[in-house]
Every structure is written in structure tokens, then in C-alpha cells.
A = this chain, B = another copy of it.
Amino acid sequence: MQTTFALKGNLVYTPVCGELAQHPNSYLVCENGTVAGVFDVLPERYRGIPVEDYGDKLILPGFVDLHVHAGQYAYRGLGMDMELLDWLEQNAFPEESRFAEETYAEAAYRIFVDALLHSTTTRASIFATLHRPATLRLMQLLDQAGLPCYVGKVNMDRNSPDYLRETTEQSLAETRRWLEESSDFRLVHPILTPRFTPSCTDALMAGLGRLQREFGVPMQSHLSENLSEIAWVQELCPGTRFYGEAYAQFGLFGGDCPTVMAHCVWSGEEERALIKENGVFIAHCPQSNMNVSSGIAPVKQYLQEGQKVGLGSDVAGGAHLSILRAMTDAIQCSKLRWRLVDQDTPALTVPEALYMATKGGGAFFGKVGSFEPGYEFDAVVMDDSTLPTTRTCTLTERLERIVYLSDGRPCAKYAAGRKLF
């Protein structure tokens, strides 16, 4: 592997939310896996390094999927005619139970990893299923593909069918064993994954809190997605004032270990204050929120409040793995929210959506999602010559066309300084 090299092309990224940095026909230099800088002309000190010239194509930071269920990928686009809790019971749970079978898991995860590899996504925070061996195999496949992801073995010890439930002891023992066994992947790391409060007893949550402090791993779950779900959590956790407290009471809500919560469609003021105080990331999953009739999260407000926000495909609540699609879904939903719910909050813009899709979600992984010096070298090369038009477009317009119209398959892709294809 070349440790120092450059890509040449039209560079576009978002160092600040809502602002596009555009460097036409420029060099993006990689040194030891991180961005050394962006240059109009290659400086003297880089004379002679290999340069991959992508001509007139666009080069964007790798995209980040902050919330996706690998164990539901085979189910995408199916059974979309119900709300969350019914959808889980009738669709997601039966599908996930099949990952107990190693051959099924192998075939399904190979399809998922191949699709992720050929998408614009370089990093993702992934739910596997509750099965330790299948989860480890998914981590191995991602590691081999060169995709630096977080992957979680799911925990569930209540309110789920017999065929997809652990005892509390099993769940904690399997999680410990999985954390121990997943320590030696090169790029892929474990993330604690209690499915959501309704699926996890207090004893399990308390045990996961202890494991988090022992292993120092991040954590992901779901929060305030659906009104029936929120009402159920209130019944299950009568001592809490809001859903987020159901996690926070066990130390599982940001602070020392990074936490990402999917959805936050219906988070109230107190919950939003705690999310902000604890630096919890919000994974906005607009398509899933449409498909399972959850609603529209106030994402523009979250950005205005200074919350940490990224985008999630939430496959298979969402049908599409493409984070470009998540960008347009987020923009379109924000327009409907403006029109139907809150005319004081304007719609999202393409630069804001690109920020969430790259640097916003990327921050969950460290210095990820930008071409600023010191950022991990994640990049995708997009060819818009396949989108014929009679117009001569500016670089901003070419970005818009790629976001709205492209099939989401880059022609080249780099993650952590390594060329994947």
C-alpha cells in the first residue's frame, strides 16, 4: 500500500454545516491514511508521489450511515404497510431469527457487505442480530472489505418472540464473549447494542452499563421513534420523565462513551437538552420514518441547536442503503415539515444534508467526513457523465444532480487511506 499519494479531481466537502468547500481540478493528498491537505498545485514536497487523476469527476468525502440493520437487508422494501411495533413483530423479528443459522447468515451478510462496499458509504454503525457467531462473521466480512464500521451484537431479553430472545444471563455472557472475540479486527469495532428499551430488562441494561465501563466501547440504540413506542416505554419505566432517561439511568446515554440514538422523531425539550448535554449523536433516518409512519424529526432545529446529527439508512425500515437517497429524503421531509407542522423552521439545504451525510455523522468515528488536514482519508469518486443534460452545470449544480439523480454507486472508493476499488 502506498502511504503517500494524491487524488486529482473536483473536490467538494463541507467543513462547516451548510457551507460547501469547492476545489475544482485540485489535489487531495493522503499521508499515512489521513488527509495531508487540498492543493491547487501539488507542492514541491509531494513531487513524484503517485497521483490518481479522476479528470472531471467529483470527489466527495466518504459517506457515513449512522444507523443500519445488516440483519434486515434481505427484507428491504417488503412489508411496508404497517407501523413500527407491528412491523418488528411480523417482519423484522422473523427475518433476524434466521441468523442463528450460519449458512443463512453467511449468504445474507455477503450480499449486505457487497452492497455497502459499492455504495458511497465508507463507515456505518450497524446492528447485526443477537447471534454472536453471525455477528463476528459480519465483522470479519466488513474488515476484509476494508469498511471501518461499528457492529453490534443485539441484546433482547423481553417483549420479543421466543425464537428471538435471550435470558438476561445469556445476553450478558454472550456480549462479554463477543467483546473479547472482536478485539482484533483491523478496521471494525464492536458497539454495544441494546435493541431498545422495550426489548431490554433493567437487569440487562444495568449489566450492559457495567460492560461499557469495563470495555470502553460506544453504544447505539433507538430513541423516540414512534408515539406508541414512547407510550410503551413510559409504562415500562414509570420512574423516568422521558424515554432518554430509560437509557441514562444505566449510564447508557453518552458522556464518556460515544452514543448514537436513531430517530429522535418525537424528542421533547427535556430529552433534547440531555442529548445535547451528553453529546449523544442523533441518527436521522427520514425514509424509515416515512415507511413505518413515524413522522418527521425536527432535524433542522437539531442543527440549529448544535446537536450532533448524522444520517441513517435504517435498512430495512428504510428500503435503500444509499445515503444520497437519505439526503434527498431528509430535504424533502424537512419541506413537508415546514409546510405542515412548523413554518418557523426552514427546510434543509443540500449543503446541510451533505454535512450530515459526511462530517456530521463522521464525528461519531473521530476525525471523519471531511477533507480538512488530519481527517481520515475516506473518499468517493462520482461520475456524473452518466446523467445526460444539455446544461453546462456549475460544480454546485453537479453535486445537486449527483445527490438527486445518481444511482449511488461511486466509480472509485477509498477508506482510511486504502483504495477499495
Contacts and interface: CB of A to CB of B under 8 A. Distances in A.
B78 A401 contact: yes
A80 B320 contact: no
Contact of A339 (B77, B293, B347, B407): B293
A295 B388 contact: no
Contact of A77 (B77, B320, B333, B401): B401
A104 B392 CA distance: 12
Contact of A80 (B104, B296, B331, B333): B331
A257 interface: no
B405 A76 contact: yes
A222 B192 CA distance: 52
Interface in A265-315: 287, 290-296
B389 A339 contact: no
A350 interface: yes
A407 B104 CA distance: 26
A404 B98 CA distance: 23
A332 B332 CA distance: 11
Interface in A125-139: none
Chain A interface, DSSP helix/strand/loop, else mixed: helix
- Residue from the set A98, A287, A296, A336 with the largest chain B CB neighbour count within 10 Å: A336
A200 to B, nearest CB: 26
Copies in the complex: 2
A336 B390 contact: no
A320 B78 contact: no
Given A287-B332, A332-B291, A390-B108, A296 B76 contact: no
Contacts of A111: 388-390
A391 B92 CA distance: 13
A78 B395 CA distance: 12
Contacts of A344: none
Interface in A387-421: 388-391, 393, 397, 400-401, 403-405, 407
Contacts of A328: 319
Contacts of A397: 78
A41 interface: no
Contact of A335 (B291, B340, B393): B291
A1 interface: no
Interface residues of A, number: 51
A81 interface: yes
Interface in A94-145: 95, 98, 104, 107-108, 111, 114-115
- Residue from the set A320, A339, A407 with the largest chain B CB neighbour count within 10 Å: A339
A114 B387 CA distance: 12
A225 B331 CA distance: 19
A293 B347 contact: yes
A74 B390 contact: yes
A236 interface: no
A268 B349 CA distance: 31
A290 B332 CA distance: 5
Interface in A359-396: 388-391, 393
B400 A78 contact: yes
Report, nearest first, the 10 A-B pairs whose CB atoms are least far apart.
Answer: A77-B404, A290-B332, A293-B335, A319-B404, A108-B390, A74-B390, A74-B389, A77-B401, A77-B405, A111-B388
26 contacts: A74-B389, A74-B391, A76-B404, A77-B403, A77-B404, A78-B391, A78-B397, A78-B401, A80-B350, A80-B404, A81-B347, A81-B350, A98-B390, A104-B390, A108-B390, A111-B390, A290-B332, A290-B336, A291-B332, A295-B336, A296-B340, A319-B328, A319-B404, A320-B405, A336-B340, A340-B340
Given A77-B404, A95-B391, A319-B405, 18 more contacts: A74-B389, A75-B391, A76-B404, A77-B403, A78-B391, A78-B397, A98-B390, A107-B390, A111-B389, A111-B390, A290-B335, A291-B335, A293-B335, A295-B336, A296-B336, A319-B328, A319-B404, A320-B405
